[in-house]
Each structure stands twice: as structure tokens, then as C-alpha cells.
Amino acid sequence: MNAKSKAGSRGEKKVYIAKSNQSIIKFDHKSCTGCANLKEPMCVKACRTDMLLPNPVKGKPPTVVYADECCACGCCVHACPRALKGAITMNWPLAMSVRWKRKDTGEHYRIRMPNPPPPNTKPPVSGYYPKIKRG
Amino acid sequence: MGKELIEWPYPIDYNKVNIVDTDVLVLGGGIAGSWAALAAIKRGVKVTIVEEMDIFSAGPAGVDHIVYALDNPCCTISPEEFIEGVGPWQYWDYINGISHYIMYREGYDMLCELEKMGAKIRDTEDEFKGAEFRDDETKLMFAYDYDTKHTLRVWGATFRPALTAELKRQRVSIHNRVKVTSFLTEGGEEGSRILGATGINVRTGEFYVFKAKATVLTTGRGGNRVWDYRGGSVATLPRSSGGGLVMAWNAGAELANMEGRAAGGGDPYPRYGTGNPLNTWYPCTMIDAKGKEIPYVDGKGNILTSFEQRVHPSLLGQRFFLERSYRNGNSPVKRPVSLCHTPKFAEAVRKGEYTLPIYADLPGMPEDERRAIFGLMIANEGMTWILYKNYAEAGFDPDKDLLQAYSGGTSSRYDGSPLVGTKKSGYRSYLGGLVHDWDFKTSLEGLYAAGESLFSVHYHGLAAISGRWAGAKAADYAKDTTEPEIFDEQVEKERERVYAPLNRTEGIDWKELNAGVSGAMRTYGGDTLTDEMLNLALVWLKELEEKEAQELIAGSPRELARCLQSMEVLKLAEMWTHAALTRKASCRFLTISKLEYPDNDPPEWHKFITIKKGQDTVEVGDRPLYYWNKQPYALTYKENYERHKPWGKK
Ligand SMILES: Cc1cc2nc3c(=O)[nH]c(=O)nc-3n(C[C@H](O)[C@H](O)[C@H](O)COP(=O)(O)OP(=O)(O)OC[C@H]3O[C@@H](n4cnc5c(N)ncnc54)[C@H](O)[C@@H]3O)c2cc1C
Ligand code: SF4
Ligand code: SF4
């Protein structure tokens, strides 16, 4: 149990919860705006396991709680309007860090490797955010 | 290491009860639920959706291919020809024929409706102009079978946002972050008319009473956590606990195929890699560690000599490819598969013909195929947008790099070819769901269901079309029925139940209970089943229900919701065990292997097993396969479709 409430009885108003010290979700304090202009930060809204909490300080990145329940779906990153600027990243879970091999050189790589090759800057077909156009 | 505590940012009020009145109540706002709500509201009734997450990302975030949209203008095969061509064989017998047939008739129509909402279903920007799998006139793109064109490649990452925007535009009332916990029934009795549901807000802890004239259950299936939860991180998505089915069970609904399960772990996406050559990567060439090509084989095991044969059934003397071969090696293969997904592969590796590990040779593919597989399908699949982004940032380049495959030859995810990690990692319950008629009405008055809450539905398109149809039918029912009279005692009893974990100061957390269920199920409901073992599973589960489930503790609304989920997993395990005990036979399709009854699917057991909760017992029953084309229904798909369809000429 991560949460503690003062009396623990029904109707209790104040609950305290342990901040996760480590998580595969990382915020960049410079480019994350905390979605200060929105009712709820987009990443918080999108989180499928509700493990991101809005920061009580407006304009600051959300706080991660219950980090061990993250299902690594990346919906929080997808939802962030500044994801491509690096405001939020999902570090690939180590146990899922797939490997690949360059066909002509035979070199081996993996996600999260030290000294990684340069990024591939090609976006998906129709871009990272294909337009939603109402007909 | 000391942990920093922060204050829960949402106002908590466990005493507050919100009462919501609606005509049609939709439980679960994923694919089926969104469509149900949209179809219902078009008929002029009041519609409310309840979603445990936020509708914004409910259900899978995307989809890369839509199967069986036979009504698309390029498809050369009719539903009747398709059904006749598939023929009766095991896999098809246990599927949900009603949803499938409607999909054949309306899949493309559904996509066009989605396109009007803003989703992208065709290559409007001409990025694949001239590609073999594209029709240059309609700009539709196809997968698998380039002759009959029954499966579409789509920009599925646009689907969820388009649906969400439309729900808001149509003014569907949406309750996000509310987990539904039980059905309300007439007089509080099991088996009587459904009058709505109860729920709790997973952030504020507030209680909800939803009163509805008609209810549509679209919470999906769940089951990842029955065998595979070990107290670790993953698999805690709302849908994974199967709560909707448990609610239906508690209300006395009839369920079919509950014993059906699939081998494989409970890992949610992103799994290792990005897919496999059975679906997303199809028809990518696979090679071994030394660069030797692993061929594709046809249904008879003949090695295919050209790429063209993988996508043109006509070259193999077949009229059409079936979307997917169900477990090659057990059933007749109706579509080419890579040898790495056949039992022969393990043998070949042992003989030294291939060297592990194996790779997808994306660079060796024709350019447009490569782009379609990686640039389109991976970026649009269920939850794999992040995968594209993270791979690209890590430097993976499909033009140059071979992607290691983590299923097929080197894993246990598919039967038949285990080489490394020979033990199956576990099971997920996979096929069980509500029994329903051609109106998607369940055995309970006032309750409709769609998507994966139905037995044997597991595709995006089937969820969408069944949702659309069920929503329309539920709206018609709601218009014609009386106001619900809520039985207060039932509400009070449910409030007692759901808040109990808050009142304890000592006990166990939800993970411990869930892991306990999984431990029992791995022990007594594992690979080879016996009646004695299954009965012991029931004893175990009953003990857990009476003792440990009564010791659950929660400190926040979120933990409370997790506790309720663990109790659902416990019940789901019990439901599976009852159904598995009832089927006194083995059945490969349902992944049931029984020591005392080794015959695979003998004729006397070639039927659906149904279960429902009785007074103090479980009432078991059965239904013939294809019950939907037997009395009291009409005798053909076509006639039933015409008779029941909720709209004019389609
Ligand atoms: C990674 C991935 C990739 C896939 N790729 C494809 C593909 O390419 N093609 C294809 O055809 N299919 C694909 N599928 C399958 C397809 O996405 C599903 O079949 C479809 O989403 C099922 O729809 P549904 O509405 O029944 O369930 P979901 O879409 O899962 O919706 C159920 C909703 O109910 C909510 N819920 C559950 N319990 C409760 C509760 N107690 N209270 C409130 N809300 C609740 C859940 O949060 C969820 O939002 C894929 C699935 C996944 C996971
Ligand atoms: S990470 Fe992105 S979505 Fe989340 S608060 Fe920061 S800017 Fe908003
Ligand atoms: S990856 Fe998914 S579960 Fe994890 S924080 Fe992001 S949205 Fe939540």
C-alpha cells in the first residue's frame, strides 16, 4: 500500500501518497509546461493506469506515483503536445529492450544501449500526428 | 530509502453518492462502447458512457489493419462466398458468427462513417501511389491478400481521436475515471431486468448510481491477470481484470466459451519487438542469424518460392487467404505462414539448418512494403506509436536494420515451435463472454453487450460493428420501456462491499491477492488439467474469497479500485474453472488439455458450454455451434441479418 491517510476511515479527506523515485517516464523540466493552460495536463489525462498526478505548482511537470504499475503503453507521450520537443519521454523497459542488427555491417544494437547510433529522423507515414479532418 | 509523500490532488469524498439518470447506459468507453453510444444518441435518446480510464485513451490507441471488411468496393468476394470458402473447421466453429457476419456486411460502411468523423482510412496523400496493395481509384490499401482485398491497412491512430471528438460533438454524457462495480437489477434479484449500474470514481472515491432504461456492456474481456500476475508491474489496465464479465455473472447472465483461453503471457503491449510475421509484419521475409532466408510455406507445408505467392492466393490455387491461420500445426493453414511459425522450424534448427536468433529482413523488402509495415502499421497499431518513436530515436532504421523477432522460432508464444523457453509462460482467458442474440441482447432483460464482452470477439472491427448495432437496439428498447425503479437495499449492500478495504487498518494489498490467484491457477489450472486439480482450484479460490479477499486494504481511491479489480480476477478465475470442469473433453482451439479426456473436441462436446450463477450452484448448459442460424432464428446468415438490422438499406 502506497497511500496513507490520517485516520483511514470513510469520508477521510486527506490522503498522502508516496512519490515514485524512479520510473520509465521522465519529464524535461525545461520543455514541459505542465500544461498550465489546461484543466488537466494532457499526459495525466491520457494515462491508462492513472499514475501521473498534476503538479500542485502550476506550470511544473506532473508527479509520478505507483510507477511499478506503468504498462509502458506510451499514451502519455503520445498525448503530450510537446512530446517531439522532449517534454516527456518513456524510457523503454529494460526487459523489453529489443535488439537489432545492421544488415550490411552485422553490428548489433539495442534500445537503451550506451553510445547509441544517431537517431533515425524519418517520421511515420503521414507524420507523427496525422490530421483528423472531419468530412 | 525514505519515500517522499505528496498530497493526493483530488478531493476525496467516500460518502458522496451521485445519481445519474439516462436512457442508454454504456459501460466501458473503448471501441465498442464509443460506437454503441454514437449509434444510440442518433436515435434521439439520452446516452451516458462510464469509463474507468479517460475516454481520451480508452481502448487500444490504434489499429493497423481491419479484417473482413468485405463490403469495401475493391473486395472481390461476397460474405456468402467467404463463409462457404472458409468451410466448417474447428476455429470457425467456436467464433462469434453474428458479429463476424455483420462485419462482412458493414465493416467498410463503419469505416466510412469513421472517415466522416475525421479518421484516415485511405491514402489520400498518395504516399503509396502505384503500390500493388493500393487501389489507385479508391486509395484504399490492403493487407495479406492482394487478390480478394478483404483486409484493409488503415491509419488507426486517428480512430480514437475521431471517435472522442464525435462523442463530444453529439453530446454524449461522459463519466471518466469511474469504474463500474455492479449491475442494478429489478427488485435486487439475480436474473431479473437490468436497471443500470453502480460505480466509484477512482480519483475521488465518490459513489455513483446510474439508472438506465437500457444498458450496453462494453468493458472488454480481460483475463491477463488470471494466470500470469506475479505481483510485478504490468497488466493492470482496467480491462485486464474482466470486471464487466464478473458483474454480468453476479447479475445472473449466461456466458459462453468461458473455458476458452490462449497460451501466452500477460504482458501487455509493447511486447518484445513490434509484432511478428503472422500479422503486422506479414509478408516480411524472415532470415536467420547467418542471413539465410526462412521460407514461407503454404497450407500443405510446400515451400513458397516467390514473394508474390505470399500475397496472391491465386498463385497457390486458392480463391482467398483467410486473414490468419489459427495456430499452424494444429489446424489446417489457410494462408501462407513463415516456416518459423510452424513446428517444423524447431526441428530444422536442431538439425542445424537455421541458426538462432531470427530477424525480420525489412531492408530486403520492396520499398513500399517496408514503409507500409514499419512506417504505417507499426506507427498505427494498438499501442505501438511509442514504439515507432522510441525505435527511431534509438537509431533503428528499417532501410538498413534487421529487427530481431521475439516470437515464432524463439519463443513460446505460439504453440508448436518452442525452442528457447520451452515452457509456456501462461495463459490468458480469451474467448469467454456473454451469450447474445441477433440484437446483441444478452440473457438478461435490458442488457445488451458488444465487443470483447461477447464470447469470441477479438478484433477492432468486430467491436465497432457490434457496438454500433447494440447501441441502436438498446436505444430502441429504451424508447419502449418503463422507468427503472432502483432497489435501495441493493445500492446500500454494494456500497458496503466496495468501501470495505478502506475500513481495515491491517491486511494484504491487491497485488498479494492477485498474485495468490495466479499462483493457484498456475498450479491447478496449468497445462494438463484433471478434474481433481480443477476442483482443488475451486477450493483454493473459495478460501481466498472467504479469507484473503476480506483482508484487502486500500489507502486511496485508486488502491480501492485495484482491490476491486483483484476481487474480479478471483471471480473470473472461478468462472473459468467451472467452465473448464464442465467440458469433459480436450479442445485445442479452447486450449484445454485434459488428462482424463484426451480426445480433441469429440462430437458430443462439439458445442458451446454455457454457465450462469444459480442460487447456490452454477447452472451449466450448452448451445449448439451456429445456434444463431437455428430455431428460433432464421436458418441463414443473410436472412437473420436482413430481419434484425437496425437500419434501412445498407
Ligand atoms: C496492442 C493491440 C493491438 C491490436 N491490434 C489490432 C488490429 O490491428 N486489428 C484489430 O482488428 N484488432 C486489434 N486489436 C484488438 C482490438 O483492439 C480489440 O479487439 C478491441 O479494442 C475490443 O474493443 P472493446 O470495445 O470490446 O474493448 P476495449 O476497446 O478494450 O474497451 C473496453 C473499455 O472498457 C473499460 N473498462 C473495463 N472495465 C471497466 C469498468 N469496470 N468500469 C469502467 N470501464 C471499464 C476499459 O478501460 C476500456 O476502455 C489490438 C489490441 C491490442 C491490445
Ligand atoms: S509532459 Fe507534456 S502533456 Fe505532460 S504536462 Fe508536460 S507539456 Fe503537458
Ligand atoms: S506509459 Fe502508459 S501507463 Fe505508463 S505513465 Fe504513460 S500512459 Fe501511464
Nearest 5°: the CA angle B118, A80, B111 is 20
For B321, residues 6+ apart whose C-beta sits below 8 A from its C-beta are B144, B145, B148, B313, B334, B335, B336
Q: Name all domains of chain B by residue range, CATH numbers in brackets.
A: 286-408 (no CATH), 499-608+615-627 (1.20.58.100)
For B221, residues 6+ apart whose C-beta sits below 8 A from its C-beta are B239, B242, B245, B429, B430, B432, B433, B452, B453, B458
Split at pLDDT 50, 70, 90, the class of B238 is low
The answer to whether residue A22 neighbours chain B at the CB level (below 8 Å) is: no
CA distances from A67 to A19, A20, A63, B535, B626 (A): 9, 6, 10, 37, 46
Instruction: Using the atom order of ligand 3, give the atom closest to the CA of residue B57.
Output: 7
Phi, psi of B163 (to 5 degrees): -65, -45
Q: How many CA atoms lie within 13 A of B358 on its CB side?
A: 29
CA distances from B320 to B110, B136, B310, B460 (A): 23, 21, 12, 21
Shortest Cα–Cα distance, B161 to chain A (Å):
8
Split at pLDDT 50, 70, 90, the class of B328 is very low
**What pLDDT sits at residue B83?**
86
CA distances from B351 to B78, B211, B355 (A): 45, 65, 10
**What pLDDT sits at residue B149?**
96
pLDDT tens column, B362-419: 999 999 999 999 999 888 876 778 889 999 999 999 999 999 887 654 343 333 333 3
Cis status, amide bond into A118, omega within 30 of 0: no
Question: Per-residue pLDDT for B254 more than 90?
Answer: yes
Bigger pLDDT: A134 vs B327: A134
Q: Please answer whether residues B221 and B452 qualify as being in contact, where contact means their C-beta atoms are separated by less than 8 angstroms.
A: yes
Residue A4 amino acid letter? K
Instruction: Tell whether ligand 1 has an atom less than 6 A from the beta carbon of residue B243.
Output: yes
Give, using CA atoms, the residue closest to atom 4 of ligand 3.
A70
Residue A28 amino acid letter? D
pLDDT tens column, B28-44: 999 999 999 999 999 99
Question: Per-residue pLDDT for B257 more than 90?
Answer: yes
Q: Name all domains of chain A by residue range, CATH numbers in brackets.
A: 15-95 (3.30.70.20)
Q: Which residues of A touch B563 (CB under 8 A)?
A: none
Phi, psi of A108 (to 5 degrees): -100, 140
Q: Longest Cα pair distance anywhere in chain B, in angstroms? A: 71
Split at pLDDT 50, 70, 90, the class of A69 is confident
Question: Per-residue pLDDT for B329 more than 60?
Answer: no
Nearest residue of chain B to residue A111 (CA atoms):
B394
The whole-chain average pLDDT of chain B stands at 89
Q: Please answer whether residues B554 and B501 qualify as being in contact, where contact means their C-beta atoms are separated by less than 8 angstroms.
A: yes
CB atoms within 10 A of CB B495: 19
Measure CB to CB from residue B270 to each of A72, A83, A123 and give the nearest one. A72
**What pLDDT sits at residue B142?**
97
For B7, the enclosing helix (H) or strand (E) is strand B5-7
**What pLDDT sits at residue B580?**
97
Q: Please answer whether residues B606 and B626 qualify as being in contact, where contact means their C-beta atoms are separated by less than 8 angstroms.
A: no
> Chain A, 63-122: which have a CB under 8 Å from a chain B CB?
63, 65-66, 68-75, 77-79, 83, 90, 92, 96, 98-104, 109-113, 116-122
Question: Per-residue pLDDT for B336 more than 90?
Answer: no
In b/e form, how buried is each residue of B312-351, taking b as 16+ CB within 10 angstroms? Answer: bbeebebebbbbbbbbbbbbebbbbbbbbbbebbbebbee
**What pLDDT sits at residue B265?**
58
Question: CA-CA distance, B136 to B149, in Å (whole number)?
Answer: 13
**What pLDDT sits at residue B273?**
62
pLDDT tens column, B567-583: 999 999 999 999 999 99
In b/e form, how buried is each residue of B16-26, taking b as 16+ CB within 10 angstroms? Answer: eeeebebbbbb
For a ligand 3 pocket test, name from A90, A91, A96 the mutation site with the most ligand atoms within 8 angstroms of its C-beta: A90
Question: CA-CA distance, B341 to B331, in Å (whole number)?
Answer: 13
Q: Please answer whether residues B177 and B53 qualify as being in contact, where contact means their C-beta atoms are separated by less than 8 angstroms.
A: yes
Q: Please write down the HEC assignment for all residues of B14-76.
A: CCCEEEEEEEEEEECCCHHHHHHHHHHHCCCCCEEEECCCCHHHCCCCCCCEECCCCCCCCCC
Q: Please answer whether residues B388 and B371 qualify as being in contact, where contact means their C-beta atoms are separated by less than 8 angstroms.
A: no
Give the mutation candidate from A1, A26, A53 for the B interface (greatest B CB count, under 10 A).
Answer: A1
CA distances from B77 to A74, B82, B321 (A): 38, 6, 11
3-state secondary structure of B98: helix
Bigger pLDDT: B527 vs B564: B564
Q: How many CA atoms lie within 13 A of B622 on its CB side?
A: 12
Lowest mean pLDDT among B58-67, B87-96, B473-482, B505-514: B87-96
Question: CA-CA distance, B289 to B310, in Å (whole number)?
Answer: 22
Shortest Cα–Cα distance, B585 to chain A (Å):
36
Q: Give the end-to-end CA distance of chain A in Å, rounded to a whole number.
A: 49
Shortest Cα–Cα distance, B411 to chain A (Å):
14
Tell how far CA B638 is from the center of its chain. 26
Once rounded to an integer, what is the mean pLDDT over residues B289-302?
Answer: 90
Once rounded to an integer, what is the mean pLDDT over residues B145-155?
Answer: 95
Q: Which residues of A touch B61 (CB under 8 A)?
A: 73, 75, 78
**What pLDDT sits at residue A7?**
47
Q: Which ligand is nearest to the CA of B52?
A: 1
Lowest mean pLDDT among B80-84, B510-514, B552-556: B80-84
pLDDT tens column, B593-642: 999 999 999 999 999 999 999 988 999 999 999 999 999 999 999 999 99
pTM to 2 decimal places: 0.95
pLDDT tens column, B421-436: 334 457 777 789 999 9
Helical H segments across A3-120, by residue range: 42-46, 75-79
The answer to whether residue A7 neighbours chain B at the CB level (below 8 Å) is: no
pLDDT tens column, B490-539: 999 999 999 999 999 899 999 999 999 999 998 999 889 999 999 999 99
**What pLDDT sits at residue B325?**
46
Measure CB to CB from residue B270 to each of A2, A54, A96 and give the nearest one. A96
Cis status, amide bond into B336, omega within 30 of 0: no
Once rounded to an integer, what is the mean pLDDT over residues A46-56?
Answer: 94
Q: Which of A73, A103, A75, A98 is nearest to B394 (CA)?
A: A98
Tell how far CA A61 is from the center of its chain. 11
For a ligand 1 pocket test, name from B31, B55, B144 the mutation site with the most ligand atoms within 8 angstroms of its C-beta: B31
* Nine-digit cell string for A32: 514541459
Shortest Cα–Cα distance, A76 to chain B (Å):
9
Length of chain A as a residue count: 135
Instruction: Characterize the bridge pairing of strands A108-110 and B17-27.
Output: unpaired
**What pLDDT sits at residue B240?**
79
- DSSP annotation of B6: E
Q: Which of B258, B264, B266 is nearest to B229 (CA)?
A: B266
Q: Please answer whether residues B434 and B255 qualify as being in contact, where contact means their C-beta atoms are separated by less than 8 angstroms.
A: yes
**What pLDDT sits at residue B419?**
39
A126–B555 CB contact, under 8 Å: no
**What pLDDT sits at residue B90?**
47
**What pLDDT sits at residue B415?**
34
Question: Per-residue pLDDT for B489 more than 90?
Answer: yes
For B530, residues 6+ apart whose C-beta sits below 8 A from its C-beta are B594, B595, B596
* Nine-digit cell string for B360: 525480420
**What pLDDT sits at residue B269?**
52
